[in-house]
Each structure stands twice: as C-alpha cells, then as structure tokens.
Structure 1
Amino acid sequence: MSKPVVLLFAGQGAQKVGMGKDLAESFPSVRALFDQADAAIGYSLTQMMFEGPMEELTKTSRCQPALYAHGLACLNVLKEKVPGLQVAATAGLSLGEFTAHAAAGTFDFATGLNLVFQRGSFMEEACEQTKGAMLAMLGGEESAIRELAAECDVDVANLNAPGQIVLSGSVDGINAAAAKAKDKGIKRAIPLPVAGAYHSRLMKSAQDKLAAALASAAIAEPTVPVVCNYEARAVKTPDEIRATLTAQVTGSVRWVESMQALRAAGHELFIELGPDATLAGLMGKIDKTAKVISIKDLASLEAAVAELNA
C-alpha cells in the first residue's frame, strides 16, 4: 500500500476480557511480546487480559499496561501483514498517548511498559487517597460546561467529541455539577463508573511521581509526529515529551483539537488499535470525512489488511 496512515491508540475504559487472545494464538510475535510483558511486570498480565475477571482487569494498574501491550501487539501483526505500511503520525487517548510514543520510537516496548505500569499504579494510589468522580456531559455548549465546572470547583477532564465533554473532581463537586447540568442547557449528565477523578487536580500526587519516572526514562525524538493530548500538537524533543506526558495526568485531554490538527495537516486515513472502536466513533462526531479502520482482534485485522491491500 502507498497511502500514509495515522495510528490511534485506545485509552482506559477500552479494555475487554479476551483482548489479544486470538492474536497470541495466531502470531508467535504477539505471544513473545505478551510473555515479555508478563516477565517485566512480575505477574500474568496476559492471563488477566484473556480470562479476567473484568473487575481485576479494570483496575487502573492492570488495564493501562494491558492496553499498551494490546495496542502494540495489534501494530506488530499489522506490520507483518502489510509490510509497506507508511505511518505518518500517531496519537492516543490519555493512556494511549504512551502507546503512540512507543509506536513512534520515542521509547522501546520495555521502557514504555514500565512507565505505564508505574502511571497506572500511581493513579490507582491517588484514587484511593482522594474521593473523586467523573461525569460525562452530553449536549450543551463547551462554554456553559466550563462555566459549570468553575462554579462547582471541578475540572474539565476530556473534550472527546462535539457534545461530549467529561468533568472530573471531588464527589461533592461532581454531584453539584450533575444537579445543575440542565440549568446550563446540557441534555444529559451521566456519572462514569470509574475509581476516581482522572485528569483532575486530585491526580497531583500521581503526576509528581510520574514526572520523576519520566525524568530517568530513556526518551528519544520520535520518528514521526506524535500529537499530545495536553497541547493538541505534535511534540518532538525529549524535554517537551516528558513535560506533556506529565501535564496530561491532571490536564485536559483535548481529543477534538488533536484530531482536528491531524486533519488540518492533511491526514485522511486513520487506524485505531485497541479492544473496541471508541476512537472511530469519536472521529465520526469530530469529522465525518475522515476514514478510520479499527483493529481489535484477528477478524478485524484480516478485514483491515484486505482493505489496506486493495
């Protein structure tokens, strides 16, 4: 194939019991990658991915390395099947930004795995130390949602798509925001089933610990542009990569602007690598003219390969 592609990687919440199992059974390279992950972490991450239980897989310290390993496994087999794959840029939602950096050569698989394992553990600790919650706001103007967040002393965590913004903060603040949502013209306010207030100031302890981990990690300039969540632009130098990955822990995920920046740069074809098709769904709301192919398992891989080689 000759058309360049942008790789997109899933964030927390995309995990599914059974993720990667059929790929590991079909591709020795995937089995080897998963074995490497198990050995590095010190427990059978892959058994949890393949068999669950979902409650355990959903834990922040578990799902983040699981999603990282799964995304890169999908990429490895895609490259095996499509040797001429031209990657023009990468991006990932929240945790997925680390996977995007690994795909772009910012750090090797082992370094990235260690970082996401630590990130997930630090965030899990922060959730246990604080009383936080998250709230999805569907419909309504961004300005009204930001006003509501300020009034309730909570943070804007995710700008996922037009009409889909997530607030994050203290339980009391989130409850207040939910109660006032309709007054601000917001159609629905849906509490999210999460362990804490991700991408809010309540994650400050996790941010500080991750900054230290990133400071000692081997980080290189990526081989292709990686669009960061925090500033919705491509980052290049190791210093700005460390800074934006750190800031992202308490900062907003500016996914809409990130995708718009990639479209404005002329990118038309995107490949989502993760256990579900969430990012394709978001792109459908952000820019219907963009093409997104989702790869999550063996069947979707084969369908994608046939489409890319057509």
Structure 2
Amino acid sequence: MKPFFVFSGQGAQAVGMGKDLVEAFPAAKARFEEADAVLGYDQSSIIFDGPAEKLTESRYCQPAIYTMSCAALDAFREKFPEVKPVACAGLSLGEYGALYAGGAFRFAEGLKLLAQRAELMDRACRSTSGGMASVLSGDPEVIREVCAACGIDVANFNSPGQIVISGEKEKLAEAVEELKNRGMRKVIVLNVAGAFHSRLMAPAGEALKPVLEAAPMTVPAVPVYHNYTAAPAKDVAELRANLAAQVAGSVRWEECVRAMVAAGGDAMIEFGPGNVLTGLLRRTLPDVPYFNVNSVESLDSLAL
C-alpha cells in the first residue's frame, strides 16, 4: 500500500476529540502537553471539556484541530512505524498538519504559525460581514460566472458536485438567488463566522506574510500538495507564498486528491476529527480505499 495522508479542516472539531488517544498513547499525550506550553493557555481543557461555542471560535478551533490531528498522526506512527506516506495534503488549516507530517517544520513551529493565522483570520471576520454557501450539483463555470458578477469568490472546489462560495453577506445572498434562478436548487448557506477563502480575508493573508518569512521551515521530505496550487512547492519561498495566498485563495481540494493518486497514492488515511475528507473522496474517487484515524477505536480497527 502507498497511502497519502490528509488532515481535517475547520468545522470538524468536537468537544472531547483526542482524549482517548491521549490516555492510550504517550506520543499523543506529548503533543497535547506541548501545545498547552506553546500556546500559554490550557488548550487541552477547552478541547476536552468545551464549551463547544468557545472551541468553535477560529482562534481556538484552528490550533485545537491541528493539535488533535498531529496527535492522531503521532499515535498512528507509534503503532505503525513502518507505514510511510507517498504524499500529504490538508484542507485549509489542515495544510499545516500535512506540512508537519511531511517534515516541513516541527510541531511547535506549526502551532505557533497556525495560532497567529487563526488570530488574524478571526480579526478579519470581526471587521467584515461575510458568509459562505455550499453549492451542490452545480456547473463550476456557471458558479464562477455568477460569483464574478456578484463580487464574491469561490472558496472551495471540494469534490464533483460540491463547491463552496464566499463573500460579503449581501452579495452572497444575491449570488445564492441567482444560482437558484439558474436551476441550482441545492444551495445551502453555511453557519460560519466569516467569509473564509475570499477577498475579505486578504488583509489576514497579507499580515501573515512577515510571520511566515520569520518562521523556520524547509521543503518537506514528503511531497505536500498545497490548496492554492494543487501541487508541491518547489522551494521554501514558494511554500511560504502558498500558505499566505491560501488564506484568501480558493482551496483546490479535488485537484489535490486527484494529483496525489496520479503520483502513486493508492489509499487515503485521514487524520483528525470527523470524516469530512473521506466523504469528499467517496464522491471524487470512489474506488480508492480510505481509513480514518481519530480515536483509539479507529486505530485498533486498522488492518494495514
């Protein structure tokens, strides 16, 4: 088997995630303890005990998902040290977990970066009035055309039949209405804090650039397929540029998955809470086997 590793994005969080891994695997426990020390607050208590409203806030949610996903990865490595990925990718904030898995930076460096990213995005959300909507079974070219006409953006190309749009709330409402007028009846406004991966996040992306420039990182030993380009970075400068551009740019997830399979990946292992990426894979490449690692039970059930 030649697996590719993928990492969860925002929205997959759940109170209590990772607690059983911490209790069963020293490697997972070490990740949570390190995160508390790096962040300077008791993140573990927020993750394990909630409240859910606090865990949902971007400034807490993004570091929490990264910590849990990396803990799941390290528990997996503890149990299956011989299993190596041929490629990695992560959905939005999950890209930082993928870069940790690929060896671009140590856990603490990735966490520091993600904490600052989360704070900048949270600030952008508070200073704008944005929203997002999921368009199911729509023509991508028509969706692009409507978004351009309404002054909003395509945030995610997730899978065949699932595209997410993002932008200022009034303009988003206009786009939703126009898409329905064009025959796309399954357009669902999402309950999110802001217009992620849209032009409203551009100030956050710009502010993140000097933070990324100062952060230690290397080209990962395992290829990491970036959301912004759907390809691995050629050097550290491109890696940093991709992470900055990703904040306001479109997430080309379907292309990432297809590219990793084309590069030799024959199975997907999803790390982190939930199973959103597994669902997207089933709609994109239904014949590719998949596994989830998000609990002790999931690890015990793996037969690799």
Shorter chain as denominator, the TM-score bin is: over 0.9
Aligned-partner residue type, residue 267 of structure 1 = G
Counterpart Cα distance in 2 of 1:164 and 1:186: 12
1:208 Cα deviation after fit: 1.1
| 1:300 match | 298
Matched positions, count: 304
Aligned-partner residue type, residue 204 of structure 2 = A
| 1:209 match | 207
Aligned-partner residue type, residue 53 of structure 1 = P
TM-score (norm 1): 0.96
Counterpart Cα distance in 2 of 1:236 and 1:57: 35
1:31 Cα deviation after fit: 1.5
- After TM superposition, the structure 1 = structure 2 runs for residues 144-155 of structure 1, keeping only pairs within 5 Å, are 144-155=142-153
- Which secondary structure does the structure 2 equivalent of 1:219 belong to? coil
Q: 2:8 aligns with which of 10, 32, 45?
A: 10
- Which secondary structure does the structure 1 equivalent of 2:10 belong to? coil
1:88 Cα deviation after fit: 1.1
- After TM superposition, the structure 1 = structure 2 runs for residues 23-62 of structure 1, keeping only pairs within 5 Å, are 23-62=21-60
| 1:121 match | 119
Counterpart Cα distance in 1 of 2:232 and 2:27: 30
- Which secondary structure does the structure 2 equivalent of 1:174 belong to? helix
1:58 Cα deviation after fit: 0.6
- After TM superposition, the structure 1 = structure 2 runs for residues 169-180 of structure 1, keeping only pairs within 5 Å, are 169-180=167-178
Aligned-partner residue type, residue 229 of structure 1 = N
| 1:89 match | 87
Counterpart Cα distance in 1 of 2:251 and 2:189: 18
1:234 Cα deviation after fit: 1.5
Q: Is the 8 A contact 2:27 2:78 kept in 1?
A: no
- Identical-residue share of aligned pairs (%): 45
| 2:276 match | 278
Name stretches of at least 5 consecutive residues in structure 2 with no aligned partner. Answer: none
Counterpart Cα distance in 1 of 2:208 and 2:290: 32
- Which secondary structure does the structure 1 equivalent of 2:135 belong to? strand
TM-score (norm 2): 0.98
Aligned-partner residue type, residue 78 of structure 1 = F
1:50 Cα deviation after fit: 0.7
- After TM superposition, the structure 1 = structure 2 runs for residues 83-232 of structure 1, keeping only pairs within 5 Å, are 83-232=81-230
Deviations 1:51-78 (A, max 9, x none): 1111100100111111111111111111
Counterpart Cα distance in 1 of 2:259 and 2:182: 29
RMSD of aligned Cα (Å)? 0.9
Counterpart Cα distance in 1 of 2:106 and 2:81: 20
Q: 2:70 aligns with which of 65, 72, 90?
A: 72
Q: Is the 8 A contact 2:2 2:264 kept in 1?
A: no
Q: Is the 8 A contact 1:203 1:249 kept in 2?
A: yes
Q: Is the 8 A contact 2:135 2:187 kept in 1?
A: yes
Counterpart Cα distance in 2 of 1:212 and 1:204: 14
- Which secondary structure does the structure 2 equivalent of 1:226 belong to? coil
Aligned-partner residue type, residue 243 of structure 2 = L
- 4+ residue runs over 4 A deviation: none
Counterpart Cα distance in 2 of 1:253 and 1:34: 28
1:236 Cα deviation after fit: 3.7
Deviations 1:195-221 (A, max 9, x none): 100000101111011111100000111
Name stretches of at least 5 consecutive residues in structure 1 with no aligned partner. Answer: none
